[in-house]
Structure 1
């Protein structure tokens, strides 16, 4: 990190310190080295985990920590013994490491990054929820102070665990996340939450199938205005099951033009999980992989395994009366009747119809009656997770409490041990630098928010006016509301210095040049506010401060 970039990073860290300490969080620093054994206890270290691991000269197994849930849980579990020490809130800002398979976009997705991670420990789910609300309030204030157009979206917890999380995202065309928002009720969520079910305020018709979730006939699941169907395919990780998803590729959605839909891998994965299928979304040629596995199974000499095919039908697609299996049988070199076939047009073990497609702009919101949905590409800047006892149970981080706290109806005065309720809350420091720079830049250069700009104000002294530039700099630096200011007195052409100041992205540029020589006035520029005015020295400090307060 070069000097100006480092100043931006340090200002972000100071901003985080300010808002973490606003609710009593204490700052700590843990080692980047962790034990593989500890991560194996939590169940997060697997063969395909994206972590750097190594053995030392004594063959002890270590890893470079991408997060510190395991380490913090073990630390707190060894220190905190009684509920009277709770709640506990600790955080750190440190370098993390991830064996990223596809590093890209500079600091947005790299193998080394800087992150703030906060860990909270409470005695009960109720108190943990109160802490979660406190943290979210602090996050809102932090991002409000940045004055960037962020969104707060309900999110998937992924391998972190827990069942409640929210992410703070910055909409940008280069973002890797897709966020859905409603125009009416304000509901915002990550498309990863797609669960494969149709969500609507209107009741769904009951299934006509005799066996739940399995097709016994060829009746349509409805009569939507579908023009043509699309087919998505995937395989299980063992390549023995081929999953096919039939979805409406083009359909009429209240207008005269057909709308193209795209399959949602998140929705299909959710259905597959519920059906007990371990789906592998990384396979690019699923049909060929499945067919090759079937041929290998048939030629292995072991007990023959029947080819398995599972069809999923979106609620807007008519179910085939006779499933198309002949081509698959030819691929797998087997008879059609040898294929073990299953079909779902309802979510497994429910009566909910299936939705296999991504949200399209203009779709109706399932949360309210009058809203329409819009999708946004976005970059994740922060994430809050309620983990519950996901880590504390596995790593035995327990506290001793009176039995009455656990069971208010208890008569005895004995004590018992319970696992602590845990939360973790992150902010990507290094990726915030890149994301904010990308979103707020324009053709002239960077455009930093005041609170994290390398300097709030730059004074540019034109050639032959270095002494006057120092006078203006001293006047601003010694004022009661002195900004974070730098003097650029390099001996370069005026147009070069102005261009360089725009590239760096100073919020306010003060030019000591011809106006000062002619009429004792200073030119003040602010690109974000579209300001370019000549101000007398007597008003300079007040005018600059008024601009900074708007940034």
Structure 2
């Protein structure tokens, strides 16, 4: 005889492991957003830069994944799951392997040269190359949400800079460059929809592709004083760029007004090429230092622009050298050096195209006539890259074209979203003195129902829970008082809190609270669902 199992479908905090660390900061703990994530029971640190997600944290991550899934499916992407283990051989084949990089290595008994993947361009390209051989199989869009690894030298700021992190990466394959660019724009539209659903301010900046390759990329940032990136934007037009690509309008060329230029000398990384850098004389004196000569020179020279200018000469500037060693090397016989390379700012030399002076707040926008540039500290949370054939060429990912004779390398794109980084960034952006504050889209629960641990309110709370429906959790813990539960609800950061207190006992009214909207009102049971849904709609 079969027996049915009776279950209570309500979400109950007594059934959900929420090991809060106490409502006061622990000894030596700063009361910042990462500390709040720990105290409110979202995560725990296992090792430096490595974290365990607890049930509340996993609910946030799962909701973020579901949001990403929705928009990835909207552009025809299929979800996969690649192994976290890759090999040095593939990275050597693509040209990205470096013994001094942030790759985490695994040594097995055969010393096989395994790595823990920080990203999967090599693996996905090799996989697709082995299975896709005709243009008829394209376009192909594959994505995954999984753990990635980085040998971070100095893990910091909790989930914002960790050794192990969750990331969504989408890889796209097309048969032509034009089709790949159309795919790139469709992915950008999906990313815009994802960040719009979070209801948080964000910036989309033109970006440098770096060692990922390709010539087109965009970064997505949350403005935050905790950010490690500088994003420049115009006061009048839509120009936004990260510090590596930021440009400014040229200064009028007037040598008399500029005065005697300042000449700085450097040396290439192989210490064989003298580099002469000429910039307008700054309005404030250059610092004199016996330490790193490039530490403060960046106040006057845009090192990113200088690096791009020197790349045209196939030379890398040594910016890690100390001042004493630099002076010694430059004092040696000129026989040691090839002909010096001279880079002059375009305000000094009309024939120069190089803008190598530092961009400063108030610099003129390069895209419009009236705008001024300003800089914002920001946290990068996503990045899109148009790769072209950067990986398909070295990894021989070819498809036969329509004529049946021509074979061409697939045109690729890769597009990442830092899932765990978004969790840390959102916690940072929306936390206050009372606790966390989650957007509705990724809150662990949208609503919490609280009551005193004893008395008739316990059963009544279940009635209110049932009346609300939706994504609600019932705080039915019997060892905590109502005041403690209220403070804990603020600490966890539920969007809406429904309280059965004195108003319920006296008038059968619950108190509905929404901290982000500064709402606190008493409502009857018959209208509580409508009121709560209205608040959630505003969020």
TM-score, normalisation: structure 2: 0.82
* In 2: Cα distance, 1:503 partner to 1:284 partner: 47
8 Å CA contact 1:250, 1:261 repeated in 2: no
8 Å CA contact 1:524, 1:535 repeated in 2: yes
8 Å CA contact 1:223, 1:316 repeated in 2: no
Is the aligned partner of 1:263 residue 2:301? yes
Q: What number of residue pairs does the alignment pair up?
A: 474
The corresponding residue for 2:270 is 238
Is the aligned partner of 1:24 residue 2:13? no
Corresponding residue SS for 2:358 = coil
Corresponding residue SS for 2:531 = helix
The corresponding residue for 1:500 is 488
Counterparts in 2 of 1:264 and 1:470: CA distance versus 1, 3 Å = farther
- Residue 309 of structure 1 deviates from its aligned partner by 5.9
The corresponding residue for 2:220 is 168
The corresponding residue for 1:330 is none
The corresponding residue for 2:474 is 486
Counterparts in 2 of 1:496 and 1:230: CA distance versus 1, 3 Å = farther
- Residue 17 of structure 1 deviates from its aligned partner by 1.1
- Residue 486 of structure 1 deviates from its aligned partner by 3.3
Q: 1:388-407 alignment to 2 at 5 Å?
A: 388-403=388-403
- Residue 426 of structure 1 deviates from its aligned partner by 0.3
* In 2: Cα distance, 1:486 partner to 1:243 partner: 68
Query: In the TM superposition, what whole-angstrom CA distance separates every residue of 1:221-280 from its partner, at most 9, and x where no partner exists?
Result: 4524x8x9877665422234454645457549xxxxxxx954322122112222332123
Counterparts in 2 of 1:185 and 1:104: CA distance versus 1, 3 Å = same
Query: In the TM superposition, what whole-angstrom CA distance separates every residue of 1:399-451 from its partner, at most 9, and x where no partner exists?
Result: 11133xxxxxxxxxx52111111000000011111001001111111111011
Query: In the TM superposition, what whole-angstrom CA distance separates every residue of 1:360-387 from its partner, at most 9, and x where no partner exists?
Result: 2222211011212121111111111110
- Residue 4 of structure 1 deviates from its aligned partner by 1.2
The corresponding residue for 1:118 is 170
The corresponding residue for 2:311 is 273
Greater Cα offset, 152-161 or 2-11: 2-11
* In 2: Cα distance, 1:243 partner to 1:64 partner: 39
- Residue 313 of structure 1 deviates from its aligned partner by 4.2
Is the aligned partner of 1:100 residue 2:152? yes
The corresponding residue for 1:290 is 326
Corresponding residue SS for 2:336 = coil
- Residue 515 of structure 1 deviates from its aligned partner by 1.1
Corresponding residue SS for 2:490 = helix
* In 2: Cα distance, 1:41 partner to 1:178 partner: 33
The corresponding residue for 1:380 is 380
Q: 1:91-490 alignment to 2 at 5 Å?
A: 91-194=143-246, 199-200=249-250, 221=255, 223-224=257-258, 234-243=266-275, 245=277, 247=279, 250-251=282-283, 262-281=300-319, 283=320, 285=322, 287-293=323-329, 305-306=336-337, 312-315=343-346, 345=349, 351-403=351-403, 415-465=405-455, 467-477=456-466, 479=468, 482-490=470-478
- Residue 18 of structure 1 deviates from its aligned partner by 1.3
Q: Which is higher, the Rg of structure 1 or of structure 2? A: 1
- Residue 311 of structure 1 deviates from its aligned partner by 5.5
Gaps of 5+ in 2: 1-52, 285-297
The corresponding residue for 2:517 is 529
Counterparts in 2 of 1:527 and 1:307: CA distance versus 1, 3 Å = same
8 Å CA contact 1:221, 1:315 repeated in 2: no
* In 1: Cα distance, 2:434 partner to 2:281 partner: 42
* In 1: Cα distance, 2:272 partner to 2:150 partner: 31
The corresponding residue for 2:92 is 40
- CA RMSD, Structure 1 to Structure 2 (Å): 2.6
* In 2: Cα distance, 1:118 partner to 1:138 partner: 12
* In 2: Cα distance, 1:469 partner to 1:248 partner: 74
8 Å CA contact 1:239, 1:290 repeated in 2: no
TM-score, normalisation: structure 1: 0.80
Query: In the TM superposition, what whole-angstrom CA distance separates every residue of 1:26-84 from its partner, at most 9, and x where no partner exists?
Result: 11111111111111010000232220123421222111111000100000011011111
Greater Cα offset, 490-499 or 148-157: 490-499
8 Å CA contact 1:460, 1:512 repeated in 2: yes
The corresponding residue for 1:331 is none
Query: In the TM superposition, what whole-angstrom CA distance separates every residue of 1:83-116 from its partner, at most 9, and x where no partner exists?
Result: 1111100001111111122221111111111100
Counterparts in 2 of 1:420 and 1:536: CA distance versus 1, 3 Å = same
* In 2: Cα distance, 1:148 partner to 1:513 partner: 33
8 Å CA contact 2:93, 2:394 repeated in 1: yes
Counterparts in 2 of 1:30 and 1:475: CA distance versus 1, 3 Å = same
Greater Cα offset, 164-173 or 93-102: 93-102
8 Å CA contact 2:232, 2:246 repeated in 1: no
